[in-house]
A = this chain, B = another copy of it.
Amino acid sequence: MADRYLRWTHTGPGRFLTRRLGLPRPEVLHRWTAERPTLEGGPLLHLTATATEGCGRKELREALDGCGLPVVHGRTDVAHGRTDGEGRVAAVLVDATALGTVAELSGVHASLHPLLRRLAPCGRVVLLGARPAPDDHHQAAAQQALEGFVRSLGKELGRGRTANLVRLAPPARVDSAASTLRFLLSPRSAFVSGQVIEVTAEGHAPGTADGGTTENGDGSGSGEGRRLALVTGAARGIGEQIAGRLAREGAHVLCLDVEQAADDLTRVADRLGGTALPLDITAGDAGARIVEALPDGRLDVLVHNAGITRDRRLVNMPADRWAGVLDVNLASVLRTTDHLLAAGALRGSRVVATASIAGIAGNVGQTNYAASKAGVIGFVRALAPRARAEHATTVNAVAPGFIETKMTAAVPFVIREAGRRMNSLSQGGQPLDVAETVAWLAEPASHAVNGQTVRVCGQSLLGA
**A residues touching B (Cβ–Cβ < 8 Å)?**
81, 102-103, 105-106, 108-110, 112-113, 116-117, 132-156, 194, 313-315, 317-319, 322-323, 326-327, 330-331, 334, 358-368, 370-379, 381-383, 385-386, 461-464
Report B-chain residues with C-beta under 8 Å of the C-beta of A116.
Answer: 314-315
List the B side residues contacting A377 at CB < 8 Å.
Answer: 144
A461 to B401, CA, bound (A): 14
Closest 5 CB pairs of A and B: A144-B378, A151-B362, A148-B374, A140-B382, A148-B370
Q: Is the CB of B326 within 8 A of A105?
A: yes
What residue in chain B is nearest A330 (Cβ atoms)?
B102
Chain B residues closer than 8 Å to A331, beta-carbon distance: 102-103
- B-side contacts of A375, CB under 8 Å: 102, 105, 141-142, 144-145, 148
CA distance A206 to B358 in the complex (A): 42
Chain B residues with CB under 8 Å of A139's CB are 382
Closest to A333 in B: B141
Q: How far is the CA of A330 from the CA of B374 in the complex (A)?
A: 32
Complex Cα distance, B463 from A113, in Å, reads: 25
Instruction: Name the CB-closest residue of B to A361.
Output: B464
Identity of the chain B residue whose Cβ is nearest the Cβ of A331 in the assembled complex: B102
A364 touching B152 by the CB < 8 A rule?
A: yes
Task: Tell me what chain A mostly uses at the interface: helix, strand, loop, or mixed.
Answer: helix
CA of A154 to CA of B143, assembled, Å: 31
20 A–B pairs (Cβ distance < 8 Å), ordered by A: A81-B318, A102-B326, A105-B322, A108-B371, A132-B382, A134-B382, A135-B386, A141-B376, A143-B378, A148-B372, A149-B362, A150-B362, A152-B358, A152-B371, A156-B313, A156-B315, A361-B461, A362-B464, A461-B461, A461-B462
Chain B residues with CB under 8 Å of A147's CB are 374, 378
Q: List, in ascending order, chain B residues with CB within 8 A of A378's CB.
A: 132, 137, 140-145, 147
- Enumerate chain B residues within 8 angstroms of A366, measured Cβ to Cβ: 152
| A127 → chain B closest CB, angstroms | 11
Name the B residues within 8 Å of A154 (CB-CB): 362
User: Which residues of chain B have C-beta atoms less than 8 A from A156's C-beta?
Assistant: 313-315, 364-365, 367
A385-B150 Cα distance, complex, nearest whole Å: 27
A436 to chain B, nearest CB (A): 23
Contact (Cβ within 8 A) B359 A148: yes
Knowing A106-B323, A315-B156, A330-B102, say if A362 contacts B148 (CB, 8 Å).
Answer: yes
Q: A148-B359, A362-B153 are in contact. Are A109 and B379 (CB under 8 A)?
A: no
Residues of B within 8 A of A133 (CB): 382
Q: With both chains docked as a complex, state the minimum distance between the C-beta of A460 and any C-beta of chain B, in angstroms.
A: 10
Contact status A106-B367, CB under 8 Å? no
Q: How far is the CB of A408 from chain B (nearest CB, A)?
A: 18
